[in-house]
Amino acid sequence: MRRSTLILVIVLAAVVIGGAVYLWVNRDWLSLPGTTNTTTTTNTVTNIATATNTPAETITAPVNAQGNTPVSGKINVAGTDITVSSLQRYDTYQGATAEKGMVYLQVYIEPVAPAVVTAVSRALLADTRVLDTKTSYPAQTVKVSSTLSKNDRGFLIFQVPVAAKNLKLEYGSGPSAQHLDLP
């Protein structure tokens, strides 16, 4: 076999092998006749932060979100001071009616920096409850709003008895638990 023929065969073999590797790597989106490709993708956001080289856009909500009863106080969640601004009681919330003898208690919180929204959301949902003199009521829903949204507020939803008195918002547990009296 001549030298030029040998080089040609080696180059052709490399192209064929390279093409096969390319097809194998891209088989998820490549559709050959008579086949169907199905791809399932699961995306999980683990950290939300504003890029330093991109200006943040501020959004203004059409209505100032707040409750009808003012509350004044702060709790420290995941290293961030959370200001509780107001609360409101509802018989129904987003189409769901509270259980008999119960109402939904929506506690509004002020927006936080975009970089801490995820950490604060997870911590509030896992370790926040409303206490009366006898019982603890865990948070059912948590929304933490970013400072990039004007007029928007975050909130926590609890289901508490209609006649509940001396309510306290509690974050944490044990001796380090933080309490805030609710009207």
pLDDT tens column, 139-163: 998 999 888 877 788 999 999 999 8
Tell me the whole-structure pTM to 2 decimals.
0.64
Is residue 81 within 8 A of residue 126, CB to CB? The reply is: no
Per residue in 72-104, pLDDT (tens digit) is 999 999 999 999 999 999 898 888 888 999 999
Is residue 56 within 8 A of residue 50, CB to CB? The reply is: yes
Q: Is the pLDDT of residue 32 over 60?
A: no
Give the fold, CATH level 3, of 59-181.
Answer: Immunoglobulin-like (2.60.40)
- Selection from 147, 145, 144, 115 nearest residue 51 by Cα: 115
